[in-house]
Amino acid sequence: MMPEEQLFKTEDVHTRSEIAQTLTAAAEQIESGTVELTSATQEQSVSIPDEPTLEVELERLTDSETGEQRYEREYELRWTE
């Protein structure tokens, strides 16, 4: 098993429109082969090969005490160097 090293993370509330713009910009960067991630305190750049693996997940999580449901949609790209 490979140890995990988190290189970049950000989590903020945005409008659907803002999220769509962010995902569009990410798609353009993926297509170009170089992804640059920036926040107020972090910056990371990485090259992506021509054929990475794409995983798409939709999860429903239910709070065991309140029954409240939360959904998560995740897009994950994987590749080796």
* Mean pLDDT, contiguous 10-residue spans, the chain (81 residues): 90 97 97 95 96 98 96 96 85
Longest alpha-carbon distance in the chain: 46
Angle made by CA atoms 59, 74, 27, in degrees to the nearest 5: 155
Q: How far apart are CA 62 and CA 1, in angstroms?
A: 29
pTM of the shown model: 0.82
Q: How far apart are CA 22 and CA 20, in angstroms?
A: 5
pLDDT of residue 2: 77
Side-chain half-sphere CA neighbours of 46 within 13 A? 15
pLDDT of residue 22: 95
